[in-house]
Amino acid sequence: MWDMQLKSFNELIALKREKKPIEQEYVLMVEHEPVYTMGRHANPANMLISQELLKQDGIECINIERGGDITFHGPGQLVVYPIIDLQEHGLGVKQYVWLLEEAVIRTIARYGIKGERIEDATGVWIDKGTPNERKICAIGVRVSHSITMHGFALNISTDLNYFNRINPCGFVDKGVTSIEAELHERVNINSVKHDIQTILNKLLNE
């Protein structure tokens, strides 16, 4: 998936540099096998167990070129990688991150979950302003020549125990949740994927 992203990302950057029209953009969606990723400015201390213990479980921790700190990707989590030209959509980086958050907020609202933003804490959160603040969606992007890669990870039926091995996104005082943990019932990941596609497409083309 990383290779697919880079291929599409570099393709769009080459078109920008050659001042050729971009006729196709991409939104890649995936459920990863269990893996931890460290953003450009991640603090290694936020990985709470050793590489040896990770290897025993067959899990890697990979340094990646997105923003943000450490996070987990795995089954039951929908990871969305838009590879688009922000300039074509009239967006700056901050506006783009806001748009990704908005797509998730609108999606989980369809399931009766109120998602919110927290100042200086990128992503989508539940129970803002309470001692039980918890993150349902992490965001980390890379932008070059106005072309994006990486994106966001929405927990749907993710095994949240994986987050106990890290300080998620560098936070030591906030929890992590999923759609299923909030609803206490099973949710079809394909239904969530369809909702994300519909809402993200609408926001990008408004």
Is 109 within 8 Å of 170 (Cβ atoms)?
no
Closest CA to 169 of 75, 46, 49: 46
- Backbone dihedral region for residue 111 (phi beyond 0: left; psi -120 to 50: alpha; all else: beta): alpha
Give the integer Cα–Cα distance in Å for 86 and 90. 6
Active-site residue, 169 included: yes
Beta bridge partners, 27, equal 82
| Residues 6+ away with beta carbon under 8 Å from 130 | none
In the set 83, 169, 176, 189, the catalytic residue is 169
Give the integer Cα–Cα distance in Å for 5 and 113. 30
Give the integer Cα–Cα distance in Å for 34 and 203. 30
| Residues 6+ away with beta carbon under 8 Å from 11 | none
Cite the active site residues.
169
